[in-house]
A and B are shown apart, each in its own frame.
Chain A
Amino acid sequence: MNASDVGGTMGAPDWMMEATTPFGSVLVANRGEIAVRVLRAARECGLRGIAVYNDLDSNSMHLNFADEKIRLPGEDLASTYLSMDAILDAARASGADAIHPGYGFLSERSEFADRVIESGLVWIGPSADAIRTMGDKIRAREAMVDASVPVIPGKSIEVSGDEDPLPQLAAAAAEVGYPLLLKASAGGGGKGMRMVEEPKRLRTEYDAASREATAAFGDGTVYVERLLRRARHIEIQVFADRHGNVIHLNERDCSLQRRHQKVIEEAPSPAVNPGLRSLMGEAAVQAARAVDYEGAGTVEFLLSDKGEFYFLEMNTRLQVEHPVTELITGLDLVHMQLSVAAGLPLPVKQTEVGISGHAMEARLYAEDPSTGFLPSIGPIARFDTPDGPGIRVDTGVRTGDEVTTAFDPMLAKVIVHAPDRASAIRRLDQALSQIILHGVRSNIGFCREMLVSDSFSGPGVTTDHLDDMDPPSRPEEPIRGILSVIASAAERLGLHRAAVTSVPSIVDQHTGHPGDPFRTLSRNFP
C-alpha cells in the first residue's frame, strides 16, 4: 500500500483534500520526454504515476519514472498509443483515477475526452466541446468572431459569370485591406490563388486567377483574405479553472520554424511590448472563455509587422514548448494542470503573473541537415546532456537507446533561462555545444547556426526565416587533418572497446537515395 493511499478520498494526496474531484493516481497516455515530464510531476505531487508502453518501448526511459507500467500489446501506434480502447483498458487494469494525455497522440481527440469522463475517470484537459470547437477551423473562427477576438480579415463574395465582379471585389478588398490573397473556394493546391499587392492590380490578378482555375472562378465563391507577410508566430499560454478564473501566462515566440516545424522558441517575444502583451493576453483569455475552457491551453496568433494580431488556432493541450513559460513565470504548468483537474482554483491571479528574465528552447531532432533533414536512425551510442546554471534538459532518451522511425524524431529539448535575450542566446548556444550525441545525426549544429545568425540575434525573425538558410558547410581543411589524427589515436588507444552495434552507413548505394532511413531498414549491403 502506497503512503498516499492512507486517509484520502481514492488515495488522493493531502493537498487535494479540499478539491471537488480529487484523485490519487494518474495514467500518462504518452511516451518520450513528455511522459517523463508528466510522470515526474505526478511523483512530486504525491500521485501514483502509471506509464503505458508498447512493444517497441519496453525499455524506454519514461518507464523509469513510473510507479506502475502497463503494456499496450503491439508495435504500431494505431493499436497502442493511439487506441482509446487500449488506453482505457490500461487505466482499468491499473486502477488509475485520472488520465493525462500529454501532447500529440490522443490529446486533442474530443471523443477520447468524452470516453475518459464516461469511464468515471478524471480527464486532465479541457472539455470535449472545447476540443471539438477549436479543432474545427471554421467553427473556431466563428466562435472567435462572436467573442470579438481578432481573426485574419477575410470576406467571401459570390460571383456569377453574367456580370463584372470587379465592383463587388474592389469593395470587399477595400474592407479587408491590402496586400491580400484572392482564393477560389473551389480551387486548391495553389490553383486559382493570387496575391494582390495594391488596388490597381486587382483586375489583372483576378483575370489571371480566373484563367488558372476557369471552372472554379466562372461561378461560385471567391474568398478575399488579408495577406500577412513577414508575420511572427506568437502564442499566448492560458490557464482556466472550474471556478471561472482565466488567466494568461504571457507569450511565447515560435517564429523560428523550418517547414512549419518549430525549432527555437522563446519567451518573452522580442516583438511584444507590455501594451501589446496585455492586448494579446486579453484576447487569448476571451478566446478561452468563449469555449468554457479548462486547464492549460495555447492561443496562437499571427502578429503582422504593423503590430496587428490575428487568431490562428487554439491548441487544447500542453505544448512542447511549455518550459519557456515555466522558466519566466516560475510556475509549474503540469502541477497546475493536475490541480485544476482536481477542481482546485488557480494558484495565482493575473496580477501575480510576472516575467523574470528570458527563456529559450531548442528542440533536438534526430534528423540530418545534410540530407535535407531526413530522419536519422541508429543507436544512441552516447548522449551526454549539458548542465550548468540556468540550463534545463527535458529528454525522453538516454545512452543505449535506439532511434527508429517508429516514433517522432524529437529526442529532447534544451531550455535555458538567463537575465536577458542576448545572454539566453549565448547560454543556449553554449549548452548545445556541450551535448555529445553519437550514433544518430541531429540538428544541433543547425540550431547553433540559427542562434548566432544576424537575423536571429536581431529582432527581425519571421516565419519564412529558416527555409532561406544555406545547407551546412563542410569542415575546414585543418580540422579535417585533426579529425583523422583523432580517429587514428582513438583506434590505437583502443577506445572502441566501448563500441556499440550500429548501422555502418546510411548511404544507400543501391537506390541512390542517400540517407533515406526507410530504405536502409532491410537491405543488403554491397
Chain B
Amino acid sequence: MYWKIDGDDKTWSVRLRSDKNNLFVDRLQAEDTEVNQDFSINHDESRGSIIIESLGRMYRADVTKVGDAWWISLEGKTYIVRERSQESTSSDMGEGGLTAPMPGTVREVLVKTGQRVREGQPMMILEAMKMEHQISAPESGEVSSIYFKEGDRVDMGEILISISTQDSSKSPGPD
C-alpha cells in the first residue's frame, strides 16, 4: 500500500504479511529507500486502536478512516495519512480496478464496455456531499467491466470500473 502523510512530500510504501492472527511488516520504503525497522503490530479491538511496537517503544494509535484518508491520533497528535490511489489501485486491487474514493452516488458514466480509453480520460463521475469526483483512467487500455450505472449508490472502496491494458496478460477482460 502507498501512503502520503499530510505535511510530507514522500510516498511511503508498506507491504504487510499475515501469519495466523499476526501482522508483520515485510517491507517499508520511503520513496525508493528501504527502511530497516522492526515492527510488531497488535490490535486493541475494544477501542479499535492499533498498537505498534518499534524502536523499543510502544505506540498506541486511534484511527478513523474518513474518505480516502486515515486520521491517526498518536501520542497526542493527529496525522492524516492518505492513500496514493494510482499505485494502490494497480498493486492492491489488481487488474486495473478503479475504486470509489468516497461513498456517494454515480452521477454519470462516460464510457462503455469495450471502449478504448487514454490515460487520464474521465470515465465516471461520483457525487458525494454535493461535490463531484471524477474517476479517470489511470493508464490507457480497454474498459473491461463497468459495475455500476447512473444513480447507483456506491460505498467507499468498491470497484467501479476495470480496465485491461493492451500488453497486460493478467487481465484479459470478458469476451
Contacts and interface: CB of A to CB of B under 8 A. Distances in A.
Most buried by B among A483, A503, A520: A483
A491 interface: yes
Interface in A478-517: 478-493, 495-496, 498-505
B41 interface: yes
Interface stretch (B68-76, B111-119, B143-151, B162-170): B68-76
A485 B102 contact: no
Nearest to B85: A504
A520 B129 CA distance: 11
Interface residues of A, number: 55
Which 9 pairs between the two chains have the least Cβ-Cβ distance? A433-B76, A496-B65, A438-B71, A502-B67, A484-B12, A438-B64, A488-B14, A504-B67, A499-B65
Given A439-B66, A491-B1, A503-B67, A475 B129 contact: no
A172 B10 CA distance: 62
Interface in B7-28: 7-8, 10, 12-14, 16, 18, 23, 25, 28
Contacts of A245: none
A378 interface: yes
Contacts of B35: 481
Interface string B26-63: 00101000010101010100001010101100010111
Contacts of B70: 486-487, 490-491, 496
Contacts of B3: 483-484, 487-488
Contact of B72 (A441, A486, A501): A486
Interface in B123-153: 128-134
A166 interface: no
B89 to A, nearest CB: 13
Interface of B: 1, 3, 5-8, 10, 12-14, 16, 18, 23, 25, 28, 30, 35, 37, 39, 41, 43, 48, 50, 52, 54-55, 59, 61-83, 101-104, 128-134, 156-157
A78 interface: no
Contact of B16 (A477, A482, A489): A489
A379 B37 contact: no
Contact of B43 (A479, A484, A489, A525): A489
A483 B43 contact: no
14 contacts: A379-B66, A438-B78, A480-B5, A480-B30, A481-B12, A482-B74, A483-B81, A485-B25, A487-B81, A488-B1, A488-B14, A492-B23, A500-B65, A502-B69
B16 A501 contact: no
Nearest to B10: A480
Contacts of A382: 62, 64, 71
A448 B10 CA distance: 26
Contact of A489 (B30, B41, B68): B41
Contacts of A489: 16, 23, 41, 43, 50, 52
B61 A474 contact: no
B16 A492 contact: yes
A376 to B, nearest CB: 11
A87 interface: no
Interface in A399-441: 432-434, 436-439, 441
B66 A480 contact: no
A274 interface: no
Contact of A448 (B23, B76, B129): B76
A192 B26 CA distance: 68
Contacts of A458: none
Given A439-B71, A481-B37, A489-B23, A370 B131 contact: no
B55 to A, nearest CB: 6
Given A489-B41, A496-B157, A501 B18 contact: no
Interface majority SS (helix, strand, loop, mixed), chain B: strand
Most buried by A among B67, B83, B130: B67
A495 B8 contact: no
A140 B64 CA distance: 51
A522 B82 contact: no
A100 B75 CA distance: 40
Given A438-B73, A445-B78, A482 B52 contact: yes
B32 to A, nearest CB: 14
A200 to B, nearest CB: 50
Given A488-B16, A504-B101, A438 B134 contact: no
Contacts of B101: 504
Contact of B128 (A479, A487, A501): A501
Most buried by A among B5, B74, B104: B5
A472 B79 CA distance: 12
A499 B71 CA distance: 11
A364 interface: no
A525 B30 contact: no
Contact of A522 (B43, B61, B131, B134): B131
B11 to A, nearest CB: 9
Contacts of B72: 483, 486-487
Contact of B62 (A436, A501, A522): A436
Contacts of A445: 77-78
B78 A444 contact: yes
Contact of A499 (B12, B18, B66, B75): B66
A523 interface: yes
Given A379-B66, A498-B64, A501-B128, A483 B23 contact: no
Interface string A441-462: 1101100100000000000000
Given A444-B78, A489-B43, A505-B69, 15 more contacts: A379-B66, A436-B64, A438-B62, A439-B66, A448-B76, A480-B5, A483-B5, A484-B28, A486-B50, A487-B70, A488-B3, A495-B50, A501-B104, A501-B128, A526-B134
A434 B78 CA distance: 11
Contacts of A279: none
Nearest to A522: B130
A391 interface: no
A433 B62 CA distance: 12
Contact of B54 (A370, A433, A482): A482
A379 B65 CA distance: 11
A493 B61 CA distance: 14
A481 B28 contact: yes
Nearest to B55: A478
Given A501-B102, A503-B67, A484 B14 contact: yes
Contacts of B12: 480-481, 483-484
